[in-house]
Structure 1
Amino acid sequence: MEQKLGKEISIHEVGYDTMSFTHEEIDEELVALYAVAYVTEPIICHSANYTDEEGNYYTLMLIETGGENPYEVWLVNDKLVPSFNS
């Protein structure tokens, strides 16, 4: 989050959660099915959220795919941002 937002964020300002899903539970609007097609269940997703001084709410979801890098999903104010660059 710090890299994308370009500022230091205290760990106390970040909410964190880990969830698991089945293939049928994946929201195709958030996660491209090809990204998790070969992932065995449960599919693990780590999420972090942060609200900045202006009240913007950022959510980062990292979905484990078995590869070196997780599949990354960004939401800003609960809206999907396909190419998040700050």
Structure 2
Amino acid sequence: MEAIQRLTEVLERKLGKKIPLHEVGYETMSFTHEEIDEELVPPYMIAFVPAPILCHSANYTDVEGNYFTLMLIETGSESLYEVWLVNDKLVPNYNS
């Protein structure tokens, strides 16, 4: 549920409005190293993580139809690697 909390926190700051939790989608997926897109997650971030690699994903669609996705990838350390997509396009440092 950390992905939901992080997604709503960042979007509320960026969009300037409260995000209703019932409008946020969530899922957890597992991947092998070969299944992870290197454009989304640099290989060095998961090089030492044993498979399966867990990805926690939360998404939200606003009233204009913009689709926001946050993926939190387990890296083997306490910090999770954040991947932000807006309308299915990678947006580096979206959380800044």
TM-score range, shorter chain: over 0.9
Alignment equivalent of 2:89, drawn from 75, 79, 84: 79
Where does structure 1 lack aligned partners over 5 or more consecutive residues? Answer: none
Aligned pairs, how many?
86
> How high is the TM-score relative to the length of structure 2?
0.83
Q: Deviations over 1:21-51 (max 9, x none)?
A: 0011110011111110000010000000100
Query: Structure 1 segments of 4 or more deviating over 2 A?
Result: none
Query: Equivalent residue for 2:34?
Result: 24
Q: Percent identity?
A: 72
Q: Return the alpha-carbon distance in structure 1 between the equivalents of residues 28 and 63 of structure 2.
A: 25
Cα root mean square deviation, aligned: 1.3
Q: Which protein has the bigger helix share?
A: 2
Where does structure 2 lack aligned partners over 5 or more consecutive residues? Answer: 1-6
Query: Equivalent residue for 1:51?
Result: 61
Alignment equivalent of 1:2, drawn from 1, 8, 11: 8
